[in-house]
Structure 1
């Protein structure tokens, strides 16, 4: 059966993925949007999904020219890989958002992946496990997947034509919480080593957080992400452990932050606090705050606004750190 973008949009909005074969149909067919390949994060049989956890794609857009999918109930964490025609050696891992309820596919994943790929970057879109889906030690599974992703990308350096010393991790919204957790806990023992990839460092060479969920302080936290990650009534120690702004360190990667002041979903205070905490420990940080943009603007919802320049600002910052 052949799928194109219109076929997917006019089909049922909920597309269950019950097997690898079914996943291939959904993930590799939309014309012009497809990754080149997909790599599992974990060896076959290493992780056991909770009973009844079956992935499904939900299409949220009725515009055939603007796909907006989300992936729920992730049971097969993986990297979807976009390879440039002429790799420049840089690698970027992207963790899209979704409030720890799902992972956005297009708006915060494939769209930026294609933009970076066209500039020579090899891009890996990370579909990480969600803490509320019943995994053992659920609060740590996003961080474990992020650590594993960085290590696996470095392990694949020869295959993918990238420099293992030029690996960037970027995250949007709740994916920004995944990213900023990795920023400060890249060497935490989130999982037991399983193969040669796990001998490699999980510290990215640079890290970008775009309108990120950061803090678990209820005064500024994104309430849904907080509850999914650490529960409704965490104690003070648990709240602190999962609040990256309270765990900054001098040896963390260079950090780039982007947020709109009028974000009513994830308060700009999340980025402000992380910037100040990063400065306090003497680690490098660059932050951009825009008057307007709201939440979840990605690449496509910035038309006519000054924030539309953000991808170029990020690109120039990556250049200043000799990534691109």
Structure 2
């Protein structure tokens, strides 16, 4: 991706304007966190005057701890009214950035397993990482099914607007998502040019197109029998129309200028059928877009980093890095 002088000037102006945003702390917890494990504190709010189209009844941000191991957190957050990015800065930047969209079935957003753990791993390898806590479509926002995409588009633009601050190349911003967050990742990579909110500032003049996209065990199809029932209902309601199903199935909306994809799934996934990944791969190939696909025999669903240990799927993060390098990322 190249940027002309006008775009660079817009980025500079957006960076100055964005620096005045008030920042909301990361999702918290009342429980003690594991000693010695880095917990990020730097955040970037997406919407300076509050997220648009708020529900009539104010939301209460709530964090649930699902782990029974005091040394292994597994938090999930819902009721997100102040969508924001939590930042992981590398000790030495390689000039690239990754926006992470964790999963949670559009019921909540997973904090640790598909957010912070991957953030730490990528930052240790030179990437500047932004973990996105996006609004949930079933919580009454006016944008409805597009509310998460609005946050993802806005996040990509803010990252680019602050490229100089973080020492990154604005053309080297990718996205990685897991499960329902994999759906959001693929949605961003296929509908990045769709206007889902009214532009606010100079940052919104920048592109929301990621350089590469990595949906991991993603929800893709919103049509039975391949749809994940929970994600489908939270996103579209109990009886969506065929038009709504098509609009929100990324494999049915791949444009000719979609970015290269890295797609990952397990054959024995008993939550999100592996056919979701295969449908996406076929649609990308039909557009002659670069795609690398890894289907592991074993892994189940939601393996992230921790549950892949000891299995062939454990190799997936290094496979992603190898692919990213071939794309100049």
**TM-score computed with the length of structure 1 as normaliser:** 0.90
Question: What's 1:172 paired with?
Answer: 178
Counterpart selection for 1:322 from 300, 322, 328:
328
Matches of residues 246-257 of structure 1 in structure 2 within 5 Å? 246-257=252-263
Deviations 1:75-124 (A, max 9, x none): 11000000011111110000000000000000000001000111111000
Residue of structure 2 equivalent to 1:220: 226
Deviation at 1:23, TM superposition (A): 5.6
**Partner residue in 1 for 2:308:** 302
Superposed CA RMSD: 1.6
Q: CA deviation at 1:26?
A: 4.2
Contact 2:26–2:43 (8 Å) recurs in 1: no
Q: 2:291 aligns with which of 279, 285, 297?
A: 285
Quote the residue 2:15 is aligned against. Answer: none
Q: Distance in 2 between matches of 1:57 and 1:321?
A: 37
Aligned length: 303
Deviates more, 1:41-50 or 1:262-271: 41-50
- Do the aligned residues in 2 keep the contact of 1:36 with 1:83 (CA within 8 Å)? no
Inter-partner Cα distance in structure 1 for 2:145 and 2:27 = 28
Task: Extract structure 1 runs of 4+ deviating beyond 4 A.
Answer: 20-27
Q: Distance in 1 between matches of 2:67 and 2:279?
A: 34
Which position in structure 1 is the counterpart of 2:104?
98
Deviates more, 1:227-236 or 1:166-175: 227-236
1:44 equivalent in alignment to 2:49: yes
What are the ranges of 5 or more consecutive residues in structure 2 without an aligned counterpart? 1-22
Unaligned runs of 5+ in 1: 1-19
Q: How does 1:22-171 map to 2 (within 5 A)?
A: 26=29, 30=33, 31-47=36-52, 49-50=54-55, 51-171=57-177
Secondary structure at the counterpart of residue 307 of structure 2: coil
CA contact (8 A) 1:35 1:81 kept: yes
Give the alignment's TM-score, normalised by structure 2: 0.89
Q: Displacement, 1:52?
A: 3.2
Would the alpha carbon gap of residues 24 and 307 (structure 1) be closer, same or farther in structure 2, given more than 3 Å must change?
Answer: closer
- Of residues 29-38 and 88-97 in structure 1, the stretch that sits farther from structure 2 once superposed is 29-38
